[in-house]
Structure 1
Amino acid sequence: MTRPRKDPRKKPQKNELAVVSGASSGIGAATAQTLAAMGYHVLAGVRTDSEADAVRADGVEPVTLDITVPEHIEALARRIADDPDRRVLRVLVNNAGIEINAPVEVLPLSLWREQFEVNLFGHIAVIQGLLPFLRRSRGRIVNISSVGGVAALPVFGAYAGTKFALEAASDSLRREVAAHGVQVVVVQPGGVRTEMAARSGDISLELAAGMNTEHQRLYGDLINATVSSNTAFLERALPAANAGARIARVATTPRPRTRYTLGTDAAFIIPLARFLPARLLDGILAVSHRSRKQKSAPTPAPESVGSPS
């Protein structure tokens, strides 16, 4: 008897939910789309109606989710609890984030606090709100960290601080919930071509323009060289679609590692930061900064040749 062939166009029916925060664009949108293609019903966190319209698709249901707003998290928990198809929550991808880069001395405390509210406390709030559902399904939490969660480069102090903290919280959480059947995985992307990454350079230059004369003298060259280097690097960085596809695989692989790097730069920088002596790494970064400064410096105009006036 000949078995009927499976239609390759038909999506697998997993009858499970996945939540992705920060899903309006970039890595989050790509992750949501890939999980939906795998057969999950994805609750994609967005903040505006226009973002919802942009991400809505077969298997992708936009939900209003500013992770710093408790009422949004409570509404998401009710949506999961009252799911009309009684689907379990299998995957939570904590991806939402902001990046505002400036020297430690220069960045206003309000912007330090804003980054920690989004990049750390917001994710903890989502985890606290949804962990009971993941415990019932023996599900998985994927926290999107950064190469900055291991290597804190100049000008990236606040952003890196949030990611270092998320790394530590993820380690504690993983050890706390392992006995409950919940898995916790950290993904450490390097450079990825996203709107957030592109905007961060403009924000840094705007902050630099508002610095006082002394801060301009102390940090102006460093900021300009860093933004110039990052802008050039992003042109050849990992596309967001590739990053999202990789994260979706990490979220669903049967036996995940505790950490995954994302991109060749992360695979190179993270071991370097872990094993090189700190002073040696400082020296390498200082040499790199001097090189970037020279490349970004304007070329002097050639002197005219002729009779002196």
Structure 2
Amino acid sequence: MERWLCPSGGAWLLVAARALLQLLRADLRLDRPLLAALVLLATLDWLCQRLLPPLAALAVVAAAGWIALSCLARQPRLPVATRAVLITGCDSGFGKEAAKKLDAMGFTVLATVLDLDSPGALELRACCSPHLKLLQMDLTKPADISHALEFTKAHTTSTGLWGLVNNAGINDVVADAELSPVAMFRSCMEVNFFGTLQLTKGLLPLLRHSSGRIVTVGSPAGDMPYPCLAAYGTSKAAILLLMDVFDCELLPWGVKVSVIQPGCFKTESVQNVGHWERRKHLLLANLPQELLQAYGEDYVEHSHRQFLHSLSLALPDLNPVVDAIIDALLAAQPRRRYYPGRGLGLMYFIHHYLPEGLRRRFLQTFFISPCLPRALWPGQPSRTPTQDAVQDPDPNLGPSPMEAQ
């Protein structure tokens, strides 16, 4: 009883009353984020009681609890009405599932695919309403993007364009930056950055007119130095910064910009082990001899096995990402960043607050553990860099066709 009569006990009563009210209104869910917030609040209460005067402790705990409940409260959503949205990369994965769910909600969905006869395109035709329109588009081809812009304008004359979901992207090489062809860096940038940039800029007049939404599927690899994802990660870092720029510049127009940073989910491309095997063999076949001798085939094989192991732990349910996309499109005040997936909160905490050495070890342990290159094995003779060392791997090791995320 004495516990609840102390000042901080009064703060807990205030927090409990608001939480109960929000639960009754369905503005709050009894889930892990709420439980985690209560644990952190209890820790803060314990510290405040030992470090602050009673009234100061009351103010801090009450304010922290109020802010936490405000952040956890569900944002009111806008009506779907006749809103239209363009989604890229709908052949598979997040794009296909988002297109299906948005169509079921009543959106007019314009879904781009690489191939109008792909299994994903055929599935969308079979299970979605006539309001969903399929469009072939390759983000590496300016003519395709120009056609998509005209197609979008023609199909949104009565409704306007409410949202753009930039989902399409590629990643076709898993290797150290030195082993990854420069051509692969360029290919990732062409799809993940330049193609997305061109499409987004072309649709901005429509989005400004509707004060609509831009939602882009990024990756934690664009925030953190994931081992063996240099080409993919740098392209995602570029698009993340671009979206932050758009967020600032489009604020006066009422356009809201969100980025989805998903963890590892079992999309079709993730589950395609044969694809990753072929890319590994192509990488090994085209590595300059000096690089192959310096790193060794065992090094590449080790990275490949570690990568496949991490993919085997991917989450099968894509709904958290799809729900984040929907919230970014319809929430009255959408978040600038969404982090659907397991363990991302811990990863970002480590990345932002722990020393660099611990951050690096965590990523290596979580994703691809370190392996010593062959030239650094004990007893190996010292090597003098040759001309081959500065040559890029065969430019013919280009990417396979663009895959949806």
Give the TM-score band, short-chain normalised: 0.7 to 0.9
Residue matched to 2:163: 91
Distance 1:78 1:230 in 2: 40
Distance 1:114 1:94 in 2: 17
The answer (yes or no) to whether the contact 2:247–2:256 under 8 Å persists in 1 is yes
Which amino acid letter does the alignment assign opposite residue 231 of structure 1? L
The answer (yes or no) to whether the contact 2:261–2:339 under 8 Å persists in 1 is yes
Structure of greater Rg: 2
Query: CA offsets, 1:218-238, max 9 Å, x none?
Result: 264444333323323333422
**Equivalent position SS for 1:238:** coil
Which amino acid letter does the alignment assign opposite residue 249 of structure 1? D
Distance 2:361 2:237 in 1: 22
**Equivalent position SS for 1:24:** coil
Closer, same or farther: CA 231–84 of 1 in aligned 2, 3 Å? closer
Pick the aligned partner of 1:209 from 260, 274, 284: 284
Cα deviation for residue 141 of structure 1 reads 0.3
The answer (yes or no) to whether the contact 1:204–1:223 under 8 Å persists in 2 is no
Which amino acid letter does the alignment assign opposite residue 123 of structure 2? A
Residue matched to 2:392: none
Closer, same or farther: CA 42–218 of 1 in aligned 2, 3 Å? same
After TM superposition, the score normalised by the length of structure 1 is 0.82
The answer (yes or no) to whether the contact 2:84–2:156 under 8 Å persists in 1 is no
Distance 1:228 1:19 in 2: 37
More strand by share: 1
Residue matched to 1:128: 201
Residue matched to 1:14: 81
Cα deviation for residue 206 of structure 1 reads 2.2
Which amino acid letter does the alignment assign opposite residue 231 of structure 2? A
1:266 equivalent to 2:338? Answer no
Closer, same or farther: CA 144–21 of 1 in aligned 2, 3 Å? same
Which amino acid letter does the alignment assign opposite residue 318 of structure 2? A
Deviates more, 1:164-173 or 1:45-54: 45-54
The correspondence of residues 59-208 of structure 1 with structure 2, limited to 5 A, is 59-83=131-155, 86-100=158-172, 101-199=174-272, 201-208=276-283
Cα deviation for residue 285 of structure 1 reads 4.4
Deviates more, 1:55-64 or 1:226-235: 226-235
Deviates more, 1:249-258 or 1:37-46: 249-258
Residue matched to 2:324: 246
Cα deviation for residue 35 of structure 1 reads 1.1
Query: CA offsets, 1:139-168, max 9 Å, x none?
Result: 000011001011121111110001111111
After TM superposition, the score normalised by the length of structure 2 is 0.64
The answer (yes or no) to whether the contact 2:227–2:367 under 8 Å persists in 1 is no
Which amino acid letter does the alignment assign opposite residue 54 of structure 1? E
**Equivalent position SS for 1:104:** coil
Deviates more, 1:165-174 or 1:268-277: 268-277
Taking only the aligned residue pairs, the percentage that are identical comes to 30
- RMSD after superposition: 2.5
- The unaligned stretches of length 5 or more in structure 2 are 1-78, 373-405
Residue matched to 2:95: 28
Distance 1:272 1:23 in 2: 33
Closer, same or farther: CA 190–226 of 1 in aligned 2, 3 Å? farther
Distance 1:183 1:285 in 2: 32
- The unaligned stretches of length 5 or more in structure 1 are 1-11, 295-309
The answer (yes or no) to whether the contact 2:80–2:330 under 8 Å persists in 1 is no
The answer (yes or no) to whether the contact 1:145–1:186 under 8 Å persists in 2 is yes
